[in-house]
Every structure is written in structure tokens, then in C-alpha cells.
């Protein structure tokens, strides 16, 4: 008998098996076993294995728990909006907009991923996406030695990271302000390469390490309003 799922089934992703592949890929990125993810998401490991290897429906409740267990969103697991700009979902009236304190901001961006460096270039402000890591309350990323990001060394920059859930029209954004510099200490670079390499998606030769030392951090979150949901 194949494993069952909970609640109302959510529509399949566009391509059969895409959900399972995204779940398996995200689990591998986090270095988690199926058993660990299943425990986090309060589900049976056998069902998680079935989901990763077979195109099958899943209840919205289980899908939400799975997204939380994988530190991602339902929208990301379903692949929604991957071919267009984010944020096109209809606004949700059952949400709250709140500020994040510094500790919560750091917790949001600590896993690393993709953020945007905002800097002043000769032709004006630019925002460039980079793969980054967080280490000792600083932001690390790699770039080319002669690129626009390297030329910004010594200047004030902003760094933004966000996450959106297209299904529930919720999300968060964190903004870091600080000074960026080139990491010139060879011993530090070797340590970063072993333990904190952001592995740039852009590829190519990107051997110049940059570090943003924050002077401020702030953030906001749009989250479900528990008082409204709980009263229904």
C-alpha cells in the first residue's frame, strides 16, 4: 500500500516529479537525511521517500510542514514563479507586517544563499546578485579581480536578502549596511575556501574574496496573522 497524504491535495507542479526532485535537492543542500527531515516535518520517512521518487499529490498541511522542515517555502518547493519575477500572487488579507530585531535578521540570513550587493558605480546605483556566506557576523562572497564588485572595496554598500512564499503571499527581507573590503590574508582565504565557500553560480574564475563588515542590520516580515487564523 502506498503512503497516504494529509488533507486536501495541492495541485501537481507543472512537470511530474518536479516536487520530489526539489525536495531531494533541498535536503541534499542542507545535508539532512530523510529521517531527519521527516522528524522535523512530523511525517513518516517512508512517505518522504515515496514523495522524492514518485510523482504523487501531497496535502497542503503536509507540504507546509515539509517546507518549514527544509527551511524554504511552499512556493519554492512547487517551483512557482521560477520563470518570472517573484511577488505576483494576490495579496493576503490575513497577514501582519512586523519589524525583525537584529538577532532575528541574522537568523534569517545565516544559512547563506543568494543576496544582492547594492553599490555606487560610475553610471549610478547598481544591485548585483551574489552567492554569499555568513561568518562571524560578516558577509562573504567571491568575485572577479577586475570586476565592479571588487572595485567597490573600501566603500559603503548595502546587502539585501529576501524570501517570498508565492502560495501564502508572505515573506521577509533583511538589509545590511556596511563597508566592503577585499580579504587579503592568505591564511584566512584558505580557511574560507575550506569552510565557507559560497560556490558562485556564475562560474568562471572568481578568486577575489570580499567581506562586508556591517554597521547596521534591519528587516521586516509579512507573516500569517495567527489571531485571525486561530479564530476561524
Please, what's the b/e burial string for 48-72 (b: 16 or more CB within 10 A of its CB; e: otherwise)?
bbbbbeeebebeeebbbbbbebbeb
Domains detected in the chain: 18-78 (1.10.260.40), 95-226 (2.30.110.10)
pTM: 0.68
Per residue of the chain (232 residues), what is the pLDDT tens digit? Answer: 344 444 333 343 333 367 888 898 888 888 899 999 999 999 999 999 988 888 778 888 889 999 999 988 887 888 765 566 777 667 777 889 999 999 999 999 999 999 999 999 988 999 999 999 999 999 999 999 999 999 999 999 999 999 987 767 789 999 999 999 999 888 888 888 888 888 888 888 899 999 999 999 999 999 888 765 444 4
Are 185 and 212 contacting, i.e. CB atoms less than 8 angstroms apart? no
Amino acid at each position: 500500500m502506498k503512503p497516504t497524504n494529509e488533507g486536501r491535495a495541492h495541485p501537481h507542479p507543472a512537470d511530474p516529479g518536479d516536487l520530489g526532485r526539489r525536495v531531494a535537492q533541498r535536503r541534499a543542500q542542507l545535508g539532512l537525511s530523510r529521517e531527519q527531515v521527516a522528524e522535523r516535518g512530523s511525517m513518516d520517512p517512508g512517505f518522504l521517500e515515496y514523495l522524492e521518487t514518485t510523482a504523487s499529490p501531497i496535502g497542503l498541511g503536509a507540504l507546509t510542514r515539509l517546507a518549514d522542515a527544509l527551511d524554504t517555502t511552499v512556493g519554492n518547493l512547487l517551483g512557482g514563479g521560477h520563470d518570472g519575477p517573484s511577488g505576483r500572487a494576490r495579496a493576503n488579507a490575513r497577514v501582519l507586517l512586523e519589524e525583525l530585531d537584529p538577532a532575528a535578521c541574522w537568523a534569517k540570513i545565516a544559512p547563506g544563499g543568494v543576496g544582492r550587493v547594492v553599490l555606487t558605480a560610475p553610471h549610478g546605483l547598481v544591485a548585483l546578485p551574489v552567492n554569499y556566506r555568513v561568518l562571524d557576523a560578516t558577509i562573504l562572497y567571491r568575485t572577479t579581480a577586475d570586476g565592479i564588485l571588487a572595485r567597490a572595496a573600501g566603500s559603503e554598500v548595502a546587502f539585501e536578502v529576501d524570501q517570498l512564499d508565492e502560495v501564502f503571499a508572505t515573506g521577509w527581507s533583511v538589509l545590511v549596511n556596511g563597508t566592503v573590503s577585499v580579504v587579503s590574508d592568505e591564511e584566512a582565504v584558505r580557511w574560507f575556501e575550506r569552510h565557507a565557500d559560497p560556490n558562485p553560480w556564475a562560474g568562471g574564475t572568481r578568486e577575489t574574496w570580499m567581506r562586508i563588515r556591517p554597521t547596521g542590520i534591519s528587516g521586516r516580515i509579512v507573516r500569517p496573522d495567527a489571531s485571525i487564523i486561530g479564530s476561524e
